[in-house]
Amino acid sequence: MALFDRRKRTGGFMDEIRCDEPSYLIWKWHPSGVRTGEGNRENSIRWGSSLRVKDGEVAVFVYSRQNGIFQEYIEGPRDMILKTDNLPVLASIVGLAYEGGTPFQAEVYFINLAQIVQVKFGVPFFDVFDPRFEDFGVPVAVRGTVSFRINDYREFIKLHRLSSFHLETFQKEIKDAVIRYVKDTVANAPAAHNIPVVQIESKTAQMNDVIEYDLSKRLKENFGVSVSGVDIGAIEIDKFSESYQQLMSVTKDLAGATVKAETEAKIKDIAAKQRIEAEHYEESLRIQREEGQYAQHKATQTANIGAFQTEKQAEVGIAGAKALGQMGANGAGDINLGNSGDGGGFNMAAMMASMAVGGAVGQNIAGAMNNMMGGMNQTPQSDSTPPPIPKIQYYVAVNGQASGPYNKDTLSKMSLDGQVTTESLIWKNGMTSWEKASTIEELKDIIVSMPPIPTET
């Protein structure tokens, strides 16, 4: 049996309760052939009529009872015949209000949950103040589109009377509210979101997000609709207004002063960093120099540790010898067994002290000798042996040619062989010219003086 077949029932045709409007937000149903405003006839529903609620719709039955107005909701998709066994939600309407009679009185509204309603709005020029320059109110205008839909239909019905709902009136209410909300949001943007007024045109995307967030919250609370999108087409500044020109002049001067101050601060910061780096560099050099000197000093001490120990032990020995030399002073070493009254006697404390000092001196001298003998018996290590003492090299002029170099020992042998005499010309590094051997101080002792060649008489 088809759902929408017309059938005779109590002398009339069955009703088909459905919404065939192509575009609507809220639509009121009335029986076919009955015009709106004809009293109870437009709300008369025959029992056994068919009900169709499409997907994305909700049908609201509004009826009266003795104790008030009641509402019942049927969400789509639903296709059925109105009976108490397949639609228990309506049983109370028939059984209690009309005692099973038909037709019964109820208003039926269809709410479109899938319909997205778009409302274009335009906010005429209004003054926006920058909190940094409160003396200049810059005219700003905004235009755009807001899109919304009904999600929570129960909340929506609480806020609006279905019987007097008109979409055009509702859209106008939404538009007026959006203009108030957008104006309030844009006016507070410089202070709330740190957006300079002169830059608000270039912040359209940021302002779009702020406005959408604010509208979503307010329209849901006040109208029961959910905002699906906000598109701010433009935010416009009246750049020919006197206040805008004055604000631009002030901000330009401020920007120049800010740039100058920032530049000076950066230059000062760079100079300070360079000064600090130079001071750190000098301090680093000083520390490196001192550490190098200290390391060199320690290396020298380590290389000559034997001589350093011998020197210190010798100092101790000298001090001990001086102490021994004074043992007899003031009668410290005198032994007088008599009881003459001249103050003589055996001074045991002084003698013990002298013996102790002498023992210490002896131990130090013995230690020094042992170390010296041990050093002589040890094989010198390559890393602790001091380098050889450099020897002076000499050159001898022989037949107009420089011969050499020779050390002093070689020159001494050459002198004994007669190869070098006091008249021989000698040169060494550091001398400005060749000189006779007899005039060189360090060679006087090794050059044998040759007797003059005898002459014939």
Going by C-alpha positions, the residue among 349, 352, 362 that lies closest to residue 321 is 362
In this structure, of 36-45, 145-154, 288-297, 405-414, the range with the lowest mean pLDDT score is: 36-45
- Helix or strand run (H / E) with residue 46: none
Structure confidence at residue 281 as a pLDDT band (50, 70, 90)? confident
Residue 445 sits at φ, ψ, to 5 deg, of: -85, -15
With cut-offs at 50, 70 and 90, classify the pLDDT of residue 179: very high
Q: Which long-range contacts (CB under 8 A, 24 or more apart) does 252-261 make?
A: none
At 136 the pLDDT is 86
Mean per-residue pLDDT for 112-121?
93
Is the pLDDT at 456 greater than 90? The verdict is no
The mean pLDDT value of the chain amounts to 77
In this prediction, residue 325 carries a pLDDT of 59
How many other β-carbons are positioned within 10 Å of the β-carbon of residue 310?
17
Among 61-65, 99-103, 156-160, 322-326, which stretch is predicted with the lowest mean pLDDT?
Answer: 99-103
Residue 99 has pLDDT above 50, yes or no: no
User: At residue 388, does pLDDT exceed 50?
Assistant: yes
Please report which helix (H) or strand (E) contains residue 205, including its range: helix 204-223
List CB contacts of 182: < 8 A, sequence separation 6 or more. Answer: 121, 123, 142, 144, 211, 215
Lowest mean pLDDT among 183-192, 227-236, 370-379: 370-379
- The predicted pLDDT at position 240 comes to 92
Q: Is the pLDDT of residue 452 over 70?
A: no
Which has the higher per-residue pLDDT, 246 or 355? 246
pLDDT at 285: 83
Say yes or no to pLDDT of 324 above 60.
no
Q: Does position 202 have pLDDT exceeding 80, yes or no?
A: yes
pLDDT higher for 328 or 213? 213
Q: What is the pTM of this model?
A: 0.49
Q: What is the pLDDT of residue 29?
A: 87
Most confident residue range from 31-40, 213-222, 242-251? 213-222
Does residue 103 contact residue 47 with C-beta atoms inside 8 Å?
yes
State how far the Cα of 60 lies from the Cα of 34, in Å rounded to an integer.
Answer: 19
pLDDT tens per residue, range 17-44 = 899 888 889 998 877 766 666 555 556 6
Q: What is the pLDDT of residue 268?
A: 77
For 256-280, how does the pLDDT look when each residue is reduced to its tens digit (9 = 90+)? 556 656 776 877 788 788 788 878 8
Higher pLDDT, 307 or 233: 233
Q: Is the pLDDT of residue 357 over 80?
A: no
Predicted confidence at residue 212, as pLDDT, reads 94
Of the two residues 348 and 273, the one the predictor is more confident about is 273
Is residue 9 helix, strand or coil?
strand
Q: Contact 157/71 with Cβ under 8 angstroms?
A: yes
Predicted local distance difference test score (pLDDT) of residue 450: 56
Q: Which of 191-195, 386-390, 442-446 has the lowest mean pLDDT?
A: 386-390
Helix, strand, or coil (residue 76):
coil
pLDDT at 422: 86
Helices and strands per DSSP (H, E), number in the chain: 8, 18
Q: What angle do CA 321, 322, 327 make, to 5 degrees?
A: 95
Least confidently predicted of 200-204, 301-305, 418-422, 427-431: 301-305
Between 298 and 287, the more confident residue is 287
Of residues 114 and 443, the one with the higher pLDDT is 114
Selection from 116-120, 281-285, 399-403 with the highest mean pLDDT: 116-120
What's the pLDDT score for residue 237?
94
SS3 83: coil
Taking residues 407-432, report their average pLDDT.
86
Instruction: Report the percent of the chain where pLDDT is more than 90.
Output: 26
